[in-house]
Amino acid sequence: MATARFWRENPSRYNLKAIRCGNCGKVFFPPRAVCSVCHRKSIGKMECMNLKGEGEVYSFTVVHEAPSQLEMLKPYVVVMVKMDEGVMLTSQLLDTDPQEVKIGMRVRTTLRRIGEDGAGGVIYYGYKFAPIKA
């Protein structure tokens, strides 16, 4: 049972809680204590923020051999998305025909079930991506 390990990340998994270095402006997701560019100069200057949830597809794949938890969804699309704040996230892309996925397409986050600790265990929720319709 990994309850606490998932619960602890909810602010980032539900609301995209990130952190910005007050020294150089670089955004990190998930939040980290120190800027990896500025090191000591960033201590005490890290500012919490939530990502807006929009970005564009940087790369993608269609997964056919799925881990046991994702058997129901295969084949599913996995994307790396460059968020508007500069930081990149990895998750699934919903509601899109695999043939229609394009590098550069605009997407937004939405809350979905990302796993569970078995049929009797806690359900985990987190972000997945959906296309932004024009």
Partner 1 sequence: MEVGIVSYGAYVPRYRITPQEIGRVWGSDGEAMSKGLMIYSKSVPAPDEDVITISTEAARNMMKRVPEVDPKDIGALYVGSESHPYAVKPSGTIVAEAIGCSPNMTVADYEFACKAGTAAIQTCMGMVGSGMIKYGVAIGADTSQGAPGDPLEYSASSGGASFLIGAKDVIAVINHTSSFTTDTPDFWRREGQEYPSHGGRFTGEPAYFKHITSAAKLVLKNMNSKPTDYQYAVFHQPNGKFPQRVAKMLGFTDKQIEVGLLTPHIGNTYSGAVPLGLSAVLDVAQPGERIFVVAYGSGAGADGFDITITDKISRFNRPAAPLVSYYIQEKKVIDYATYAKFRGKIRIKEEVA
Partner 2 sequence: MREVAVIGIGGTKFGELWDTSFRDLGMQAGLAAVADAKLAAEDIDALYVGNMSAGRFIEQEHVAALIADYSGLARDHIPATRIEAAGASGGLAFRQGYLAVASGMHDIVVVGGAEKMTDVGDVLATEIQSSAADQQWEVVFGATLAALFAMIARRHMHEFGTTREQIAQVAVKNHKHGALNPNAQFQREIDLSTVLKAPWVAEPLGVFDCAPLSDGAAAVVLCSMDRARSYTTKPVRIIASTQASDTLALHSRTSITSFPATQVAAQKAFRLARKTPDQVQVAEVHDNFTIAEILAIEDLGFFPKGQGGKATMDGETTLGGKVVVNPSGGLKARGFPFGATGVAQVVELVQQLRGEAGKRQVPDASLGLAQNTGGTGATVVVSLLEVA
- For residue 25, which amino acid is it? G
Q: For the purposes of burial, counting CB atoms within 10 Å of the CB of 83, is it exposed (0-12), middle (13-18) or buried (19 or more)? A: buried
Contacting range for partner 2; rule: CB under 8 A; set: 15-23, 42-50, 53-61: 53-61
In this structure, the chain runs to a length of: 134
How far is C-alpha 31 from the geometric centre of its chain's CA atoms?
Answer: 12
Nearest distance from residue 112's CB to partner 1, in Å?
A: 4
72, 99, 104, 134: which one binds partner 1 (CB under 8 A): 72
39, 98, 110, 123: which one binds partner 2 (CB under 8 A): 98
11, 31, 115, 131: which one binds partner 2 (CB under 8 A): 115
Contacting range for partner 2; rule: CB under 8 A; set: 16-24, 45-53, 87-95: 87-95
Q: 84 — phi, psi (to 5°)?
A: -60, -25
**Running DSSP on this structure, what letter comes out for residue 131?**
E
- For residue 113, which amino acid is it? R
Tokens of 98: 């695999």
Beta strand 17-21 with 54-63: parallel, antiparallel or unpaired? unpaired
Site string for partner 2, 57-76 (x = CB under 8 A): -xxxxxxxxxxx-x--x-xx
Please report whether residue 29 would count as binding partner 1 according to CB under 8 A. Answer: no
From partner 1, partner 2, none, interface partner of 60 (C-beta below 5 to 8 A by class): partner 2
From partner 2, partner 1, none, interface partner of 14 (C-beta below 5 to 8 A by class): partner 1
